[in-house]
Amino acid sequence: MTTDQKQIQAIFDRIAPVYDQLNDRLSLGQHRVWKLMTVKWIDLSIGDVCLDVCCGSGDLAQLVAQRVGETGQVFGVDFSSEQLAIAHQRSQNQHPPLPITWIEADALNLPFPDNHFDCATMGYGLRNVTNIPRCLQELHRVLKPGAKAAMLDFHRPSSPLLRSFQQWYLDNIVVPNAKELGLTEEYAYISPSLDKFPIGSEQVHLARQAGFDKATHYQIASGMMGVLVVAKA
Ligand SMILES: C/C(=C\Cc1cc(O)c2ccccc2c1O)CCC[C@H](C)CCC[C@H](C)CCCC(C)C
Ligand SMILES: C[S@@+](CC[C@H](N)C(=O)[O-])C[C@H]1O[C@@H](n2cnc3c(N)ncnc32)[C@H](O)[C@@H]1O
């Protein structure tokens, strides 16, 4: 694992105990709406075998598992053991139990065969991997022909006013709240990571280069978030 990957892994290990609570507080619960929208874009069916890449504490994996039913199967993959521990703990509290398997693995080297999954999700993961083209190639490899994937992440709004609001919110709401929990650096990482993140049209180009036949980027939350939806031919 590269130094950059170890640094990212350490960030998410450290924030794992408060990650869900801060997401709810800092997004006023809206991140759950954005995740529901993401799941709708992959056209799930009962019995599907699905993958949630960079699953973290398991929000998207749980939403997908609730929709594929007991004949389906969901694999949640993340390289943060602390995030996976939270994900596992949360899913243990579900009754009836959800068909989710949690796997500690690298999104850049997925431990699955080619053409294996009916669909995939990725929530706030694409911006955090250290090699986006490689991640998209791996996603393309493990999806079945005709399968879809949806990747939710931050996006910089084209509107200068909204872009200023987003930056103000990150600087004056997000980071100060994280500072109260001794996590200033971890949450201060979001802004520079967003500055380096490809814009929607560039994400579409990268998806096509990775082999996806169809790729569309949808802006949501007034352009402060976005969902890259891809389909394998
Ligand atoms: C679920 C959300 C973010 C997940 C997330 C992603 C990362 O890459 C991180 C990196 C380092 C630390 C934490 C994270 C992380 O939590 C989105 C909601 C939580 C956001 C922190 C809040 C961002 C809010 C928008 C910029 C503006 C929303 C305004 C509106 C009035 C709700
Ligand atoms: C912001 S969290 C997103 C968690 C969850 N998907 C959500 O929507 O809340 C990003 C996650 O990506 C994981 N991650 C980053 N790079 C990874 C990689 N190369 N392989 C596996 N997981 C990775 C981190 O450990 C972290 O749990």
- The distance from CA 102 to its chain's CA centroid, rounded to whole angstroms, is 15
For the chain, the farthest-separated pair of C-alpha atoms sits apart, in whole angstroms, at: 48
Beta strands in the chain (DSSP E): 49-53, 73-78, 100-104, 117-123, 143-154, 214-220, 225-231
ipTM of the complex: 0.98
Please give the tally of structural domains in the chain.
Answer: 1
pLDDT at position 117? 98
| Residue 58 in contact with ligand 2 by CB distance below 6 A | no
**Structural domain boundaries enclosing 39:** 3-156+199-231
Residue ranges around ligand 1 (CB below 6 Å): 11, 15, 23, 26-28, 30-31, 124, 127-128, 166, 169-170, 174, 186-187, 189-190, 224
Residue 176 lies in a domain: no
pLDDT at position 86? 98
Residue 91 lies in a domain: yes
Ligand nearest 172 Cα, by number?
1
The β-bridge partners of 33 are: none
pLDDT for 1 beyond 90: no
- Ligand 1 pocket test target in 126, 154, 179, 191 with most atoms within 8 Å of CB: 154
**Digit-coded pLDDT (tens) for 60-87:** 999 999 999 999 999 999 999 999 999 9
Cβ-contact 198, 131 below 8 angstroms: no
Residue 212 sits in a domain of what CATH number?
3.40.50.150
**Digit-coded pLDDT (tens) for 179-227:** 999 999 999 999 999 999 999 999 999 999 999 999 999 999 999 999 9
Residue 190 lies in a domain: no
Beta strands in 95-193 (DSSP E): 100-104, 117-123, 143-154
What's the burial of 164, exposed, middle or buried (CB within 10 Å: 0-12/13-18/19+)? Answer: exposed
Residue 168 lies in a domain: no
**Digit-coded pLDDT (tens) for 3-29:** 899 999 999 999 999 999 999 999 999
Assign 43 a pLDDT band (cuts: 50, 70, 90).
very high
Q: Give the pTM.
A: 0.98
Lowest mean pLDDT of 57-66, 88-97, 144-153, 220-229, name the range: 88-97
Residue 181 lies in a domain: no
Q: 80 CA to middle of ligand 2, Å?
A: 7
pLDDT at position 2? 87
Residue 170 lies in a domain: no
